[in-house]
Structure 1
């Protein structure tokens, strides 16, 4: 293994700026201001439905040479899409709906689209869900490749809170391997909270996922089932959850020492949702300082 210092700082706009994004016209201005400081080299956004806003964002991304990820989760949730459904007809219909929105990413100048699986339908349907998800991903990757887009897959928890099919890191790795036999433009978006809620050690999980991972979310969660905050609530990084600042430092040092930061090319953001009645810029500053401290310890 080689040693390297650093990673690519990213900001997860739909979560940190969630209270501010009720009006989409604010987004290009926000993208521009976040890129102005020069700290963030990558941005993550939700789907943008206004064509003029897409044009503005593309111009900023192109001019500033930023890597842009468009998370398609909103589309999946709004249309209740099940890309891993064991029902072939349902799955193919949902994939076709999903494909209709890929152009939103292209017109924003995105380099990646990111998605999640459908719900977990039970152990008895696990094989059908896995086979179906592979088929869905191949179809999506083929369409994405026409627009020079890479597809990122984020595993969630299977039984703790979100209860999605995908799922355990080792299973996703096997899926990614099979998809890459057909389409190389696919990778993993690793999330610390989801791995922990799947009862995985986050260092071991990243070790398994690393050869296929291009992005990491530092996300906190409460793992105590008796706690009212149990699950994946995109909470602030603090001592109530498992992912404290000290735990982040341990995770990043391990990732760096084992080469999991991919020669400084790994994109990392802090997944943290600003409460509706609070200042998004305050929370963005918290997230930024966490990333800055992470970079500092890797010097």
Structure 2
């Protein structure tokens, strides 16, 4: 079964958040995921989701100060109190909006002790995972590619798997984004197979320009076939940057290699 979800952090980005939800429904999507919806009351998001008969998959944790270049706090020593507060905010938002998962941002850690960052990350993530258990929320962690995010805490899937094997908690899983993974290696399907047991969610976009998934240097359709052969039946997040208007670019969903099956 193949089902696509609109990532409205990137699709219809010129619209207000609630208008993006409406636009996703009009375009035929049955689920959405978001980046940082915190400026909009979660009850309003829930109402828009329910009015459009959609499923809200997940959101990102508060990033910290984006203007200052922060991308999360989980691995940043000295920001533990801020991280705990961000988790309170995130879990409250998930609960009140109906979001099922939370992508926790690791943060930019350039110039900091790797050992200290790892210890900080483990402590923070275990605390968050316990909260996720009581709130029935899936926690997602995602490597961000080196070219675009050179200072991020982790860049490669294998690197994150090693960290998660050390942290160990059943609520933790990998968000496998074909764009970020493909920017690090062209062996996307190999990585998918090797780390399959830890992959909880898949997102798609072309490599290297992050446009519609039926373009670029990597056969994204083949990656999806590989995932399905391994048993993936979850939603597929469409987190790409449209080459033109979103609607003009949606023809890729009619391509026989990409058509939904459930």
TM normalised by structure 2 equals 0.81
Q: C-alpha distance in 1, partners of 2:222/2:155?
A: 24
* Residue 65 of structure 1: how far off its partner (Å): 6.3
* Residue 287 of structure 1: how far off its partner (Å): 5.7
Q: How does 1:75-114 map to 2 (within 5 A)?
A: 75=64, 77=66, 80=70, 81-85=72-76, 87=77, 89-90=78-79, 92-102=80-90, 103-114=92-103
* Residue 172 of structure 1: how far off its partner (Å): 1.3
* Residue 212 of structure 1: how far off its partner (Å): 1.8
* 1:242 corresponding residue in structure 2: 217
Q: C-alpha distance in 2, partners of 1:105/1:177?
A: 26
Q: C-alpha distance in 2, partners of 1:236/1:253?
A: 17
* 2:258 corresponding residue in structure 1: 294
Q: How does 1:225-264 map to 2 (within 5 A)?
A: 234-237=210-213, 239=215, 241-243=216-218, 247-257=219-229, 259-261=230-232
Q: C-alpha distance in 2, partners of 1:282/1:84?
A: 40
SS across alignment from 2:205: strand
* Residue 169 of structure 1: how far off its partner (Å): 1.0
Aligned length: 256
* 2:39 corresponding residue in structure 1: 49
SS across alignment from 1:118: coil
* 2:126 corresponding residue in structure 1: 138
Are residues 1:266 and 2:242 paired?
no
Q: C-alpha distance in 1, partners of 2:206/2:134?
A: 36
SS across alignment from 2:110: coil
* Residue 153 of structure 1: how far off its partner (Å): 0.9
Q: How does 1:170-185 map to 2 (within 5 A)?
A: 170-181=158-169, 184-185=170-171
* 1:195 corresponding residue in structure 2: 181
- Which runs of 5 or more structure 2 residues have no equivalent in the other structure? none
* 2:105 corresponding residue in structure 1: 116
Q: C-alpha distance in 1, partners of 2:252/2:63?
A: 22
Gap change, CA 1:148 and 1:59, over 3 Å in 2? farther
Gap change, CA 1:272 and 1:192, over 3 Å in 2? same
TM normalised by structure 1 equals 0.73
Q: C-alpha distance in 1, partners of 2:43/2:254?
A: 31
1:180-215 CA distance string (max 9 Å, x none): 44xx22211101121122235101111133212221
Quick one: which of 138, 145, 149 aligns to 1:162? 149
1:99-155 CA distance string (max 9 Å, x none): 242112221111111133222436x83333333222221122222333222111111
From the two aligned structures, give the one with the greater helix fraction.
1
Q: C-alpha distance in 2, partners of 1:280/1:109?
A: 25
Provide the alpha-carbon RMSD of the alignment: 3.0
* 1:71 corresponding residue in structure 2: 60
